[in-house]
Amino acid sequence: MEKHGRILVVDDDNLVLESLYEAFIDEFEVLTAASGKEAVTAVGRNANLDAVVLDIRMAGMGGLETASAISKIVPDLPIIFYTGYPGDFSENKIDRQYRPYDYVVKSEQPVRLYRTVRNAVGFKKLERKSSHLIEMARAEYGMVGKSALMQAVYRTIEKIAPTDSKVMIIGPTGSGKELVARAIHKRSARSQKRLGILNCNHKQPDLVESQLFGHLKGAFTGATENRIGMFEYAHEGTLFLDEISDLDSTSQMKLLRVLETGEYQKMGSPAVERADVRVICATNKNLEELVASGDFREDLYYRLKMVTIVLPSLKERREDIPDLIDYVVEHYSIEKRDGCKIFEPAAIDLLVDYHWPGNVRELIYTVKALMDISISYYVTRADVERQLSFPGYTDNGSVSFSDQLREMKRLIIVKALVQSGNNISGAARLLSLDKSNLHKMIKELDITLG
């Protein structure tokens, strides 16, 4: 029979120890210790324990002292105190000082202890799995965060990635929807094939059709050569359609056809092509409202909405901001080869409290900008204050006018890029600038696109 976990039972009464062993051996791998000293040694040698059942009143090294020693070795290991002398110990005091998983009296019904052990083992396994998911998301996907909201996202990715289900990612601009799509593709059976990415934001229908399905030379004015589309490019792989809500009605109809039949035609070609593609789409809008208003096809909506992943805004997971800052500092320092900069606690507090309308993308831009403009290797609260408002607004005049003007331009452009989803054409429209001039300014101001 498969064991559901590994536990350690500790009691200096051999009869109790034997009965506990017999009680749990069918369900768990059971280690035993007849003293506190043996228990500490056992924990040190078995790092993958899921729970400890510990007598309190023992000769020599008592249960409370043993619990303290165990917690120093494995701080988050669930400890269940199991005592035959409840009156000798204050349960409230034990709870405050030792924070056990539970406190069970030996005279209670055995089912009480069994239930507690099962729950403790389940808790430890879930905690261990969550820790693994958090580390994997950071290392493999570039997704950073320990919050419950992000752990739910990681678990959904792990659950649905191996399937062929279509996925709808919903979240505000800059929240990391493309990272989720990349993670799903990387964990899927299609990972050795291509991931195609198309941003659908407000493109002309002919351009969308060409980008999705391809065209032949001469299919329309300006079609000077054959071009493959995303469905052909991502055949047997994954296609990520970002901002799907911006698709025009004609493109929606043609996308629905290929999703229903797996068939499409290149522009200018009568030949019917077939595509085997897993589709992941994303939006920052409420598609149900767009369906109700007639701006998005209902049949396409239900074709796409098989599994939904909701990404939180950054202000909904502020506890993740310090880890995100560390991640950006670490990777940007390597990229710049310029040494690691340290953010003082007050600077981090200010970044945590900020409302972040551009979400994670804006935070990344801001942290990189702070690393670029900070004179020393120590980023202060004053540096953050200057960056999050117009530079020089609270400045004491020590920065020259030309430097302040340069930084003001830089911040305005960065904010426009955030609002446009890092799209240079969109940012140029917001700023009423020529696209080529904006390109030149981005280069002159050393703004990193990413």
Closest C-alpha among 300, 303, 171 to residue 243: 171
Residue 94 CA, chain-centre distance (Å), reads 37
Q: What is the mean predicted confidence (pLDDT) over 102-114? A: 87
Which CA distances in Å does 8 have to 49, 75, 80? 7, 15, 10
Ordered DSSP codes for 285-350 = S-HHHHHHTTSS-HHHHHHH-SEEEEPPPGGGGGGGHHHHHHHHHHHHHHHHTS---EE-HHHHHH
Closest C-alpha among 287, 353, 289, 365 to residue 321: 353
> 148-160 and 177-186 helices cross at what angle (nearest 10)?
40
What are the backbone dihedrals phi and psi of residue 10, each rounded to the nearest 5 degrees, phi first?
-130, 120
CA–CA separation, 263 and 152 (whole Å): 35
Q: Is the pLDDT at 414 greater than 80, yes or no?
A: no
pLDDT recorded at residue 405: 67
CA–CA separation, 358 and 354 (whole Å): 11
Task: Read off the pLDDT of residues 150-175 as tens digits, 9 standing for 90 and up.
Answer: 999 998 998 899 999 999 999 999 99
Task: Read off the pLDDT of residues 252-270 as tens digits, 9 standing for 90 and up.
Answer: 999 999 999 999 999 888 8
- Residue bearing tokens 């055995």: 110
Find the Cα–Cα–Cα–Cα dihedral 143, 145, 146, 149, rounded to 10°. Answer: -90
Q: What is the mean predicted confidence (pLDDT) over 292-306? A: 93
Task: Read off the pLDDT of residues 329-346 as tens digits, 9 standing for 90 and up.
Answer: 999 988 887 778 899 998
**Residue 193: how many CA atoms within 13 Å on its side-chain side?**
18
pLDDT bin (cut points 50, 70, 90) of residue 91 is low
Query: Can you read off the two tokens belonging to residue 162?
Result: 């191996």
Mapped onto helix, strand or coil, the DSSP state of residue 105 is: strand
Contact 351, 366 (CB under 8 A): yes
DSSP E strand stretches across 129-267: 167-170, 195-199, 214-215, 227-228, 238-242, 263-264
Which CA distances in Å does 386 have to 155, 301, 332, 366, 399? 38, 44, 21, 11, 11
Return the sign of the alpha-carbon dihedral for residues 272, 274, 280, 286.
positive
Find the Cα–Cα–Cα–Cα dihedral 311, 188, 243, 369, rounded to 10°. Answer: 60
CA–CA separation, 21 and 24 (whole Å): 6
Residue 20 CA, chain-centre distance (Å), reads 41
Query: Can you read off the two tokens belonging to residue 232?
Result: 């052909």
| Rounded CA Rg of the chain | 29
Find the Cα–Cα–Cα–Cα dihedral 59, 61, 65, 70, rounded to 10°. Answer: -120
Query: Can you read off the two tokens belonging to residue 398?
Result: 């020590």
CA–CA separation, 280 and 168 (whole Å): 6
Task: Please state the pTM of the whole predicted model.
Answer: 0.67
pLDDT recorded at residue 350: 93
Three-point CA angle 70, 72, 75, nearest 5°: 85
Flag the least confident range among 257-266, 373-382, 415-424. Answer: 415-424
Q: Is the pLDDT at 38 greater than 70, yes or no?
A: yes
Higher pLDDT, 443 or 80: 80
Q: What is the mean predicted confidence (pLDDT) over 69-87? A: 85
**Residue 264: how many CA atoms within 13 Å on its side-chain side?**
27
pLDDT recorded at residue 391: 44
DSSP 357: T
Three-point CA angle 290, 294, 300, nearest 5°: 75
Mapped onto helix, strand or coil, the DSSP state of residue 150 is: helix
Closest C-alpha among 165, 140, 137, 189 to residue 308: 165
Higher pLDDT, 117 or 443: 117
pLDDT recorded at residue 404: 62
Higher pLDDT, 361 or 126: 361
Q: What is the mean predicted confidence (pLDDT) over 315-320? A: 95
CA–CA separation, 33 and 196 (whole Å): 57
